[in-house]
Structure 1
Amino acid sequence: MTLHDTNADRGVDVSVGQLLRALDRSRMTAKHVGLYVVSALGHFFDGYDVQVIGVILPAITLAFHLPAGQAGVLGSSTAFGMLFGAICVGFVSDRIGRKSALMLALGVFALFSLLSAFPPNFGWLVTFRVLTGVGLGAEVVTMYAYISEFLPARLRGTLLTTSSMFWQLASVVAAVLAIVVVPAFGWQGMFVIGALPAVVVVVIWRMLPESVRFLVAHDKLSDATRIVRDLSSVDPKDVPADTDTKAAAETAESVKQLSVSDLFRGKFARLTPGVWLIQFFNGFVLFSIVTWLPSILVAKGFTFVHSLLYVAVIVGVGAFGNVGAGLVLNRIGRRKAMLLFFVLGGITLMIWGVQSTGVGILVLGAISSFFIYGVSGAVYTYTSEIYPTTLRATGTGWSGGAQRVGAIVAPSVIGWMIGSHLPIISVFILLAVGFIVAAVAVLFLTHETGSRTLEEIEASVIATR
Structure 2
Amino acid sequence: MSMGTTDYVVEEARLNRFHLLILFWCSMLMTFDGYDLVIYGSVLPYLMSDWKISPVLAGIIGSSALFGMMIGALTLGISSDRFGRRRVILICLCVFGAAALTNGFVTNPTEFIICRVLTGVGLGGMVPNIVALMAENSSKSKRNIMITTMLCFFPVGGVIAAFSGKVVTPEFGWRANFFLAGVPLVTLPILLRYLPESISFLLANKRYDDADKILCKIAPSFKGTARQLVTSHMDMHEHGVRQLRTVQLFTEGRALNTLLIWVGFGLCMLMMYGLTTWLPKLMVANGYSLGSSLTFLLTLNIGAILGGLLSGWLADKIGGKYSLILFFLVAAVSIAGLGYKQNQIVLTILLMLAGATTIGTLGLVHAFAALFYPANVRSTGVGWAAAVGRFGAVAGPAVGGYLFAQDLPVNLNFLFFAVPGVIAAIAIALTSNKRGTESNTDVAVASVK
Per-residue CA deviations over 1:214-258 (Å, capped at 9, x if unaligned) read: 12233333432332013323214399x9xx899756325556273
Return closer, same or farther for 1:440/1:245 CA change in 2, 3 Å cut-off: farther
- Name the residue aligned to 2:57: 70
- Name the residue aligned to 1:181: 168
How far is the alpha carbon of 1:170 from its aligned partner?
Answer: 1.7
Is residue 77–residue 126 contact of structure 2 (8 Å, CA) maintained in 1? no
How far is the alpha carbon of 1:138 from its aligned partner?
Answer: 0.8
In the alignment, the residues of structure 2 paired with residue 252 and residue 123 of structure 1 have an alpha-carbon distance, to the nearest angstrom, of 44
SS in 2 for 1:292: helix
Q: Does 1:196 align with 2:183?
A: yes
Per-residue CA deviations over 1:117-176 (Å, capped at 9, x if unaligned) read: 111311000110110110011111111011111111110111111222221122111111
- Name the residue aligned to 1:336: 322
- Name the residue aligned to 1:7: none
Return closer, same or farther for 1:393/1:75 CA change in 2, 3 Å cut-off: same
Return closer, same or farther for 1:247/1:334 CA change in 2, 3 Å cut-off: farther
- Name the residue aligned to 1:150: 137
Is residue 105–residue 135 contact of structure 1 (8 Å, CA) maintained in 2? yes
- From 394, 415, 424, the equivalent of 1:438 is 424
- From 96, 112, 120, the equivalent of 1:125 is 112
In the alignment, the residues of structure 1 paired with residue 63 and residue 6 of structure 2 have an alpha-carbon distance, to the nearest angstrom, of 43
Q: Does 1:400 align with 2:403?
A: no
In the alignment, the residues of structure 2 paired with residue 403 and residue 379 of structure 1 have an alpha-carbon distance, to the nearest angstrom, of 11
Per-residue CA deviations over 1:351-410 (Å, capped at 9, x if unaligned) read: 232234444433312222222233221101111111122211111111011221111011
How far is the alpha carbon of 1:350 from its aligned partner?
Answer: 2.0
What is the percent sequence identity of the aligned residues?
Answer: 28
- From 99, 112, 115, the equivalent of 2:99 is 112
How far is the alpha carbon of 1:282 from its aligned partner?
Answer: 0.6
Is residue 77–residue 127 contact of structure 2 (8 Å, CA) maintained in 1? no
- Name the residue aligned to 2:192: 205
- Name the residue aligned to 2:400: 414
Return closer, same or farther for 1:457/1:379 CA change in 2, 3 Å cut-off: farther
| Stretch of structure 1 that moved more, 55-64 or 379-388 | 379-388
Is residue 42–residue 166 contact of structure 2 (8 Å, CA) maintained in 1? no
- Name the residue aligned to 1:10: none
| Paired letter, 1:363 | I
Gaps of 5+ in 1: 1-12, 461-465
In the alignment, the residues of structure 2 paired with residue 146 and residue 61 of structure 1 have an alpha-carbon distance, to the nearest angstrom, of 39
- From 39, 62, 66, the equivalent of 1:79 is 66
| Stretch of structure 1 that moved more, 291-300 or 213-222 | 213-222
Number of residue equivalences: 442
Is residue 42–residue 162 contact of structure 2 (8 Å, CA) maintained in 1? yes
In the alignment, the residues of structure 1 paired with residue 440 and residue 181 of structure 2 have an alpha-carbon distance, to the nearest angstrom, of 34
In the alignment, the residues of structure 1 paired with residue 444 and residue 329 of structure 2 have an alpha-carbon distance, to the nearest angstrom, of 28
SS in 1 for 2:18: helix
- Name the residue aligned to 1:314: 300
How far is the alpha carbon of 1:446 from its aligned partner?
Answer: 4.1
Is residue 203–residue 233 contact of structure 2 (8 Å, CA) maintained in 1? no
Per-residue CA deviations over 1:402-451 (Å, capped at 9, x if unaligned) read: 221111011110111110011121122222210111111111124367xx
| Paired letter, 1:198 | L
- Name the residue aligned to 2:250: 264
How far is the alpha carbon of 1:348 from its aligned partner?
Answer: 2.1
SS in 2 for 1:354: coil
- Name the residue aligned to 1:371: 357
| Paired letter, 1:175 | A
Return closer, same or farther for 1:246/1:233 CA change in 2, 3 Å cut-off: closer
Return closer, same or farther for 1:398/1:391 CA change in 2, 3 Å cut-off: same
TM-score (norm 2): 0.92
TM-score (norm 1): 0.89
| Paired letter, 2:99 | F
- Name the residue aligned to 2:18: 31
- Name the residue aligned to 2:221: 234
| Stretch of structure 1 that moved more, 167-176 or 127-136 | 167-176
- Name the residue aligned to 1:426: 412
Return closer, same or farther for 1:457/1:272 CA change in 2, 3 Å cut-off: farther
Q: What is the RMSD of the two structures over their aligned residues, measured on CA atoms?
A: 2.6
In the alignment, the residues of structure 2 paired with residue 147 and residue 457 of structure 1 have an alpha-carbon distance, to the nearest angstrom, of 23
- Name the residue aligned to 1:22: 9
The equivalences for 1:158-173 within 5 A come to 158-173=145-160
In the alignment, the residues of structure 1 paired with residue 440 and residue 362 of structure 2 have an alpha-carbon distance, to the nearest angstrom, of 21
In the alignment, the residues of structure 2 paired with residue 296 and residue 455 of structure 1 have an alpha-carbon distance, to the nearest angstrom, of 50
In the alignment, the residues of structure 2 paired with residue 255 and residue 270 of structure 1 have an alpha-carbon distance, to the nearest angstrom, of 20
- Name the residue aligned to 1:44: 31
In the alignment, the residues of structure 1 paired with residue 155 and residue 220 of structure 2 have an alpha-carbon distance, to the nearest angstrom, of 32
